Amino acid sequence: MRGIGNRDFPGTRLRTRPVASGWPKPHNRRVAETLWQQRIRRAETLAAQHPFAGQILGFYIHIARFQQDLYRHIERASASNSPERSAGVPPAVFHGKEPASRPLSGQQDAGATFPPELPELLSSFPRFLEIVEKQAPARLAQIARALSQSPSASWTDLLNNAWSAPDQPSEQPSDPSEFLALTFLQPYAEFIRSRVPLQLEGYTYSLCPFCSRKPALAVLRPLGEGARRNLLCGFCLCEWEFRRIVCPGCDEKDHAKLPVYTAAEFPYIRVECCDTCHTYIKSIDLSKNGLADPLVDELASVPLDLWAQDRGYAKLHPNLLAM
């Protein structure tokens, strides 16, 4: 591994395999119909390339297939709802003053703390727990098994608590069952966010402008001869522009305190660290690998997390698989 600015990754044992931005594009293949299918295909490709990530990517593939089905179910349920019920989606517009720390769908009209589609969501929760119990690593599988044996009323409380934006944006989930709830609710959050006309011009904060959560990762998108840095919420998948040389954890701007590391195994993924707040965030550079999917490639690059954490950096915000 090598670091930018003469900083190195001593002692790592990742296999060296060049990842070139000039990979030939596949021909004569059916174009993926949905973003979910694209994510699944990318996970299958990475699992074949990186055996050390095979288990977690295999689990993700099962989760992504479930999430795709749930998203379609939510779309159908929303389309069949009456206009009065569908009006629960907030006509939220952000004007660039502060993070949008507000309730999501269905909460503004009547002060409710749950999404209006909760009955439809609850009917799919047992199947989600069954998939996790069968396909997840042992720790998550055990938690899913315990949840499946709990009263359904406890599911409602769990999903309501996970859905509600945190009172303190600095807080993040620590209970593994909450991570499972967030993973289950992610398609719904993405669906609701996609229906809200956010206006992000002038927004300079590091918290998600839709759900006020910390970003799970960063994305570098090609812009002219360089790349623009965006932050990406791992829950609602809102993406917004953020300054390139600024720590999203503490707003540190001193370049000398913001080391960036890369590895030969993942040359298009940057480990962006901060020596002030001792956090890090992974950044997927699409200008170097246009085939990457930010969510999936972030999951596959587990060795980068292990390296950073071994050296005293904490991840700014874990992904939905609690990694």
Residue 40's CATH number: 3.90.1670.10
Which of 146, 167, 194 is at the close of a domain?
Answer: 194
Residue 26 lies in a domain: no
In degrees, rounded to 5, the angle at the alpha carbon of residue 75 between the alpha carbons of residues 70 and 81 is 120
Which of 174, 194, 214 is at the close of a domain?
Answer: 194
Two tokens at 222?
């090609």
Two tokens at 14?
């990742």
pLDDT at 23 (0 to 100): 45
Residues 302 and 260 in one domain: yes
Residues 182 and 237 in one domain: no
* Partners of 223 in beta bridges: 226
pLDDT at 65 (0 to 100): 96
Q: What is the C-alpha separation between 302 and 166, in angstroms, rounded?
A: 27
Torsion angle, alpha carbons of 208, 212, 216, 222, to 10: 0
Domain with 71, as residue range(s), is 56-194
Residues 13 and 69 in one domain: no
Residues 158 and 69 in one domain: yes
Residues 185 and 213 in one domain: no
Two tokens at 136?
């997840």
Residue 147 lies in a domain: yes
Residues 265 and 176 in one domain: no
Q: What is the C-alpha separation between 257 and 171, in angstroms, rounded?
A: 24
Backbone φ and ψ of 265, nearest 5°:
-70, -30
Residues 268 and 163 in one domain: no
Residues 182 and 211 in one domain: no
Residues 276 and 221 in one domain: yes
More confident residue, 9 or 210: 210
pLDDT at 323 (0 to 100): 74
Q: What is the C-alpha separation between 127 and 187, in angstroms, rounded?
A: 15
Residues 75 and 149 in one domain: yes
Residue 225 lies in a domain: yes
Q: Per-residue pLDDT tens for 243-282? A: 999 999 999 999 999 999 999 999 999 999 999 999 999 9
Residues 188 and 236 in one domain: no
Residue 237 lies in a domain: yes
Residue 299 lies in a domain: yes
Q: Per-residue pLDDT tens for 51-86? A: 999 999 999 999 999 999 999 988 887 777 644 443
* Partners of 239 in beta bridges: 232
111: left (phi over 0), alpha (psi -120 to 50) or beta: left
Least Cα distance to 191 among 61, 68, 63 occurs for 68
> Within a 10 A sphere around the Cβ of 313, how many other Cβ atoms?
22
How many domains are there within the chain? 2
Q: Per-residue pLDDT tens for 122-173? A: 899 999 999 999 999 888 899 999 999 999 889 988 988 888 755 454 456 6
Residue 199 lies in a domain: no
- Is pLDDT above 90 for 38? yes
Residue position matching structure tokens 């587990």: 302
Backbone φ and ψ of 229, nearest 5°:
-95, 125
Which of 194, 216, 242 is at the close of a domain?
Answer: 194
Residues 131 and 39 in one domain: no
Residue 321 lies in a domain: no
Two tokens at 45?
């490709």
pLDDT at 93 (0 to 100): 30
Cβ 11 vs Cβ 306: under 8 Å: no
Residue 267 lies in a domain: yes
| Helix ranges, the chain (H) | 35-49, 54-80, 83-86, 107-110, 118-135, 138-148, 152-163, 176-194, 294-300, 302-310
Q: Is 0.85 surpassed by the pTM of this model?
A: no
